[in-house]
Amino acid sequence: MAVRPERNRMNRNNARKGMAAIAAACAALALTAAAEHKRRYPELPEKITAETPAQRDARMAWWRDARFGMFIHFGLYAAPARHEWVRSVEGIDNETYDSKYLPRFNPDLFDADEWAAQAKRAGMKYIVLTTKHHEGFCMWDTKTTDYKITKTAFGRDLVREYVDACRRAGLGVGFYFSIMDWHHPDYTVDNPHPLMTRLRKEGKKGKELEDAVAALNATRNMDRYREYMHAQIRELLTEYGKIDIIWYDFTPVSEKFGKTYKDWDAVKVVKMTRELQPGAIINNRLDLMETEDGWDFICPEQFKVQIWPTVRGRRVPWETCQTFSGSWGYSRDETTWKGVHQLVELLVHSVSKGGNLIMNVGPTARGTFDDRALERLDGFAKWMKVNSRSIYGCTMAPDGFAAPDGAALTWNEKTGRLYIHLFDYPMGYLPVAFIDKVEYAQFLHDGSEIKFRAKPPLAEAADGEQFGVMGGMELPVVKPAVEIPVIECWLKQ
């Protein structure tokens, strides 16, 4: 059919107007994004490196596909065995802490290969180990201080053994590094500092507290601490080969007695990290959220993420860090341990929102994983052995796929397969809203076919809709012996 010339002109004009509107909207968006960038720290550059978003995406591909990692919090605090923040919570000064625990610390049963094997069995693809936590004690043979593991009865470079073991096991190697340091004499007293707890315990507040903090900080010098800290980071990033993840923790931002990115010269930290370990992936606790590339992923801690997190309107890579029991360091008397079902659900839930899960183990002061941790790792191992296909390389399901009640979906973009995870096992029949898009379905754990019907049961006899149900899958009434059964679906092209 011939299109009339005036119609054509109108279309062209409309298209031009449309393009102009889109361009204006984009410019406005760019402006808002720029304003957002400058909100807290107008002086911060938007970009720190020359890396393009596509290059960054490629750098992070392995990590995104891995989806599941192990955190290990190990330090002197394993000895008091009541949380890695024990110094801060109880207000323990250097002298008391060191005189009690340093001479006794000896993780004589430590076996790095065993740690790596446990992670691997559980289906984890990378490990992140605390090289130094807020207590300031170094788990490697650093030249920057004697406050280190090689000066204890143990006498070995634990970080080196860990790195070698991860490599042997084919696991990604991650370093957690605390930028806070409660031991260093130049590190200024801030909110979480043990000496602050002391002052508060003494009942100081208001002006009196301010003066007392100022008096403590009079001899402390963050320039010197920063130099020390940068030297430590440089060592970790040059002496141990290729490092895959660097987890900097954390900036205690607050109006009073807080810190900011300036205290760490965080821009320099990022530049140094990118220069020395160009492949490494960095978390976001250096207080550089206003920059585009001062971080690679965000790390929501100890809560279940409900929607895929966004930054300046864009979905970002994320990893939730979680504990089995509430404490990161070994905590003997902690009783609030999560069960295997809750934990596997957490993993699936994270992937179903496009994120990773890093699950923590706090080894005992002898250097072993305690039985409660082993039991949970074993739960992951059993489940992952037959179900990892619904985790590795998977992400949030595309629009138009709604999860059935009590279930969560993941999706593998490359294979096009969709996975239904049955948190609450149904009574035989599973209504599935997108059943018309399914070509074939099977249980993932044993590859057995699952029959499905486009119309609800009884629909032949009567109008199915009056039963308030939809098409779906016919499952065995008895739940298979899998913690959370998974249905693997091939979708129609």
Which residues of the shown chain bind ligand GLC in the complex (CB under 6 A)?
73, 84-85, 249-250, 301, 321, 328
Q: How far is the CB of 476 from ligand GLC (least distance, A)?
A: 41
Among residues 346 and 386, whose Cβ is nearest to ligand GLC?
A: 346
On whether the CB atoms of residues 69 and 127 are closer than 8 A, the answer is yes
- Give dist(CA 399, CA 402) in Å, integer: 8
Q: How far is the CB of 176 from ligand GLC (least distance, A)?
A: 7
Q: How far is the CB of 316 from ligand GLC (least distance, A)?
A: 17
Among residues 288 and 321, whose Cβ is nearest to ligand GLC?
A: 321
On whether the CB atoms of residues 91 and 113 are closer than 8 A, the answer is no
Instruction: List, in sequence order, every beta strand (DSSP E) within 244-380.
Output: 245-249, 281-282, 310-311, 314-315, 319-323, 356-361
DSSP bridge partners of 408: 421
Among residues 115 and 423, whose Cβ is nearest to ligand GLC?
A: 115
DSSP 8-state symbol, 377: H
Among residues 79 and 489, whose Cβ is nearest to ligand GLC?
A: 79
Among residues 49 and 284, whose Cβ is nearest to ligand GLC?
A: 284
The closest alpha carbon to 418, from 426, 399, 427, 429, belongs to 399
Kind of pairing between the strands at 310-311 and 314-315: antiparallel
End-to-end CA gap in the chain: 32
Q: How far is the CB of 76 from ligand GLC (least distance, A)?
A: 13
Instruction: List, in sequence order, every beta strand (DSSP E) within 377-432.
Output: 394-395, 407-412, 418-422, 429-431
Total count of residues recorded for the chain: 493
Neighbours of 101 (CB within 10 A): 21
Among residues 309 and 393, whose Cβ is nearest to ligand GLC?
A: 309
Among residues 124 and 450, whose Cβ is nearest to ligand GLC?
A: 124
Give CA torsion, residues 114, 115, 116, 118, to 10 deg: 80
Q: How far is the CB of 302 from ligand GLC (least distance, A)?
A: 8
Residues 6+ apart with CB under 8 A from 56: 293, 296
Q: How far is the CB of 358 from ligand GLC (least distance, A)?
A: 8
What single letter denotes the amino acid at residue 209?
A: L
Q: Could you tell me if residue 219 is left (phi over 0), alpha (psi between -120 and 50 degrees) or otherwise beta?
A: alpha
Q: How far is the CB of 301 from ligand GLC (least distance, A)?
A: 5
Among residues 212 and 373, whose Cβ is nearest to ligand GLC?
A: 373
Q: How far is the CB of 237 from ligand GLC (least distance, A)?
A: 20
Q: How far is the CB of 360 from ligand GLC (least distance, A)?
A: 7
How far from the centroid of its chain's Cα atoms is residue 111's Cα?
Answer: 25
Structure-token pair, residue 182: 């409660």
- Give dist(CA 212, CA 168) in Å, integer: 51
Neighbour order of strands in the sheet with 429-431: 429-431, 472-474, 451-453
Among residues 210 and 301, whose Cβ is nearest to ligand GLC?
A: 301
Residue reference for tokens 């691997």 = 120
Q: How far is the CB of 284 from ligand GLC (least distance, A)?
A: 11
Report CA-CA distances (Å) from 470 to 2, 121, 381, 464: 46, 39, 35, 7
Among residues 73 and 125, whose Cβ is nearest to ligand GLC?
A: 73
